[in-house]
């Protein structure tokens, strides 16, 4: 018995329809690729998502909070690029812009100190003379000042700053070459929120330990007494604009932290995650 066929489109029309759908999918994929290329090809610091995407809201426009967040993200990316290129004038300029665009919470260390917890790679540090504000004319790049000891902290030395909020400790470490050996030098000390009326972003710092480790992470020497000796010989070494050493956190995100010290230095740090913590990650401060 012959089967009755349902009326339908001729086969050649169905084939054409299938080709049309394939072409539409390919075209959409092509547009997506072009859009992604345009987004990622934009120079650092110049990408403005607000020009490409608009979020629907009453009255039109882009939410002010989104514009502020986007600006901070752009400045953060630009600052990381400039700091990595050792561009001191550019780093100082964008550093100040990012501080102004998205300052750290006023009660940061009293309400949310855990935001600072962890190990941070020092991308750039720009120092001035004790008691002076950092500027293009007085700046010295890649210098860390710890209670009067100025230490070279270029990226070749893998400088890291660690903050342990629970134990109230902070440490700075670098990898140095000495007599043909690669050695880690770490200075650490107390880290406590400053009492009012000081800003809630300020921590008081008192370095009290100095340790030397092998490149593999074996402790070779402890010489914390050197800080007590230096302060006894010359108390002015621990004085910047005030009688005690302090560190202000002026901007913080999940990945980047900016700081200013009382000895005229500014810091740009990027958070280390997972296995990138470094050799001394297992050693408590």
* Residue-level pLDDT at 270: 95
pLDDT in tens, the chain (285 residues): 555 555 555 555 455 555 555 555 444 444 333 333 333 333 333 333 233 333 333 344 545 566 667 899 999 999 999 998 889 999 999 999 999 999 999 999 999 999 999 999 999 888 754 444 555 544 445 445 544 444 555 567 889 999 999 999 999 999 988 888 899 999 999 999 999 999 999 999 988 899 999 999 999 999 888 888 877 776 655 554 445 689 999 999 999 999 998 877 899 999 998 877 788 998 999
Chain centroid to CA 276: how far? Answer: 14
pLDDT for residue 259: 95
Q: 167: closest CA among 192, 202, 185?
A: 192
């Amino acid at each position: 018995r012959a089967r009755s066929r349902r009326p339908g489109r001729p086969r050649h029309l169905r084939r054409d329809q299938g080709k049309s759908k394939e072409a539409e999918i390919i075209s959409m994929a092509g547009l997506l690729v072009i859009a992604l290329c345009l987004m990622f090809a934009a120079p650092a610091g110049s990408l403005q998502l607000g020009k490409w995407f608009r979020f629907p809201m009453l009255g039109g426009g882009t939410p002010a909070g989104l514009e502020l967040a986007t600006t901070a993200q752009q400045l953060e990316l630009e600052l990381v690029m400039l700091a990595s290129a050792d561009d001191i004038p550019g780093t100082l300029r964008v550093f100040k812009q990012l501080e102004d665009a998205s300052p750290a919470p006023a009660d940061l260390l009293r309400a949310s100190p855990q935001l600072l917890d962890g190990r941070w790679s020092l991308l750039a540090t720009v120092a001035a003379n004790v008691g002076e504000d950092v500027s293009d004319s007085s700046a010295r790049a890649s210098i860390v000042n710890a209670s009067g000891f100025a230490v070279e902290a270029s990226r070749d030395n893998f400088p890291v700053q660690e903050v342990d909020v629970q134990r109230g400790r902070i440490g700075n470490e670098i990898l140095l070459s000495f007599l043909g050996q690669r050695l880690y030098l770490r200075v650490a000390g107390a880290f406590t929120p400053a009492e009012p009326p000081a800003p809630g972003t300020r921590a008081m710092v008192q370095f009290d330990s100095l340790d030397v480790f092998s490149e593999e992470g074996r402790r070779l020497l402890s010489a914390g007494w050197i800080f007590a000796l230096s302060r006894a010989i010359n108390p002015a070494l621990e004085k910047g604009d005030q009688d005690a050493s302090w560190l202000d956190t002026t901007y913080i995100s999940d990945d980047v932290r900016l700081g200013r010290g009382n000895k005229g230095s500014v810091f740009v740090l990027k958070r280390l995650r997972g296995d990138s913590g470094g050799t001394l990650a297992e050693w408590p401060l």
